[in-house]
Amino acid sequence: MKKPRRILVAIKDPGARRQPALQKAAQLAAALGARLDLFHAIAEPVYLDAFLMQGMTLEQTQRQWRERLLKKLERQAQTLRDTGLTVETSCEWDFPAYDAVIRRASRTRADLLVAERHATRHVMPWLLRFNDWELLRRSPVPVLLVKHARPWRNPAVLAAIDPSHSFAKPAGLEEDIIDAAQMVATALGGKVHIGHAFSGAMLPTERLNPVSAELAVTLERQMTRDARKAFAAAVEKSAARTARRHFVAGEPIDAIPRLVKQQHISLVVMGSVSRSGLQRLVIGNVAEQVLDALPCDVLALKPANFKARVKSRVRGVQLVPTPPYL
């Protein structure tokens, strides 16, 4: 991940008093010398003919709605400009919101995308489309998902890597993850941790005969030694050789959140591999469960060869039939 020069902040509600994503994006912008782009996608549907009841055309309705939201964005932006930051604002009719944000990031050549997490737990995120999860899956730009409103203060940053590529992550992604964690921790005056959750062979030795059980234990030990060596090699060739290392046993879904709590981690940097269809149900679900279980902010990176599947054309206003009771 290269040093961000332009950070796009997806503003969910321009009128909200508390803006955790904006606050942390501003912290990064100040520390890294980046500029901010505050963006709100107007994805709400407009009922056909409903605007005519107010004596307005569709164009007038769109313009009035957009100008009202832009004023709210500008108030947020001016507060940051007063601190010395360079801030732009934009508001656009486009849907769905996650595609609109990715389109904006592509047009402005943003280096980092910052968004708030969905307010509630993600139930079946691989079937339902949540804006934050879709950004993580579909955006080629690194996504910082803000879960907590607390400002960062000398944060502990965990680079969660998988040198064994047990979840089919592309080779080279671990180096990018560690570099990103090092960059953010250095900029914010924090410390870097590097962790790997290794689940092992997970063979049911209690169901095997004594000879097979002994072979299973031997295999388990050998796999653990190999995983430790791969983890150590990945750290040694990185720019964060002095970071605290954590080789933990267990499934990532359980082990990584547990490590985060034990080490008081404020931000986890990890890889996000977009999948679809059956692969998404079987493999993508594991990564999404880890992300949902983490009690801290998450910075998700894509492989260098990841290609966005989002069309570049803005879709404009979403018109729907007027319900009979209006």
pLDDT in tens, the chain (326 residues): 899 999 999 999 999 999 999 999 999 999 999 999 999 999 998 887 767 777 788 888 899 999 999 999 999 999 999 999 999 999 999 999 999 999 999 999 999 999 998 765 554 444 445 788 889 889 999 999 999 889 999 999 999 998 876 544 555 789 999 999 999 999 999 999 999 999 875 555 555 556 566 777 788 888 889 999 999 999 999 989 999 999 999 888 899 999 999 999 999 999 876 555 444 433 345 567 788 889 999 999 998 888 878 999 999 998 888 766 54
User: Are 5 and 57 part of one and the same domain?
Assistant: yes
φ, ψ for residue 137, nearest 5 deg? -75, -40
Q: What is the pLDDT of residue 270?
A: 93
Specify whether 136 is located in the same domain as 8. yes
Confidence at residue 169, expressed as pLDDT on a 0 to 100 scale: 56
Task: Please give the residue range of the domain that contains residue 311.
Answer: 1-140+307-326
Q: Do residues 29 and 7 make contact, with C-beta atoms less than 8 angstroms apart? A: yes
CA–CA dist 293, 122 (Å, integer): 10
Do residue 102 and residue 120 come from a single domain? yes
Q: Are 73 and 11 in contact (CB under 8 A)?
A: yes
Considering the domain architecture, whether residues 169 and 292 belong to the same structural domain is answered as yes
Q: How many domains does the chain fold into?
A: 2
Q: What pLDDT, on a 0 to 100 scale, did the predictor assign at position 206? A: 54
Confidence (pTM)? 0.87
Per-residue pLDDT, 274: 56
| Environment class of 166 (CB within 10 Å of its CB; exposed 0-12, middle 13-18, buried 19+) | middle
Whose structure tokens read 């959140």? Answer: 257
- Taking a C-beta distance cutoff of 8 angstroms, is the pair 191, 244 a contact? yes
CATH code of the domain in which 191 resides = 3.40.50.620
Could you tell me if 133 and 273 lie in one domain?
no
Q: What's the confidence (pLDDT) of residue 210?
A: 64
Residues 285 and 316 in one domain: no
Alpha-carbon distance of 21 to 8, in angstroms, equals 10
* DSSP H helices in the chain: 20-32, 58-81, 97-108, 131-138, 173-187, 210-236, 252-262, 277-279, 285-293
Instruction: Say if residue 42 is in the same domain as residue 73.
Output: yes
Alpha helices in 19-122, H assignment, sequence order: 20-32, 58-81, 97-108
CATH of the domain at 326: 3.40.50.12370
For residues 280 and 66, is the Cβ–Cβ distance under 8 A? no
Q: Same domain for 188 and 291?
A: yes
Q: What is the pLDDT of residue 126?
A: 42
Task: Examine the domain organization and report whether 196 and 82 are in the same domain.
Answer: no
Give the pLDDT confidence score for residue 145 in this predicted structure: 95
Question: The tokens of 141 are what?
Answer: 């730009």
Please tell me whether residues 290 and 314 are part of one structural domain. no
Q: Which of helix, strand or coil describes residue 140?
A: coil
The pLDDT, as a whole number, for residue 202 is 54
**Residue 169 and residue 66 share a domain:** no
Say whether both 125 and 201 belong to one domain.
Answer: no
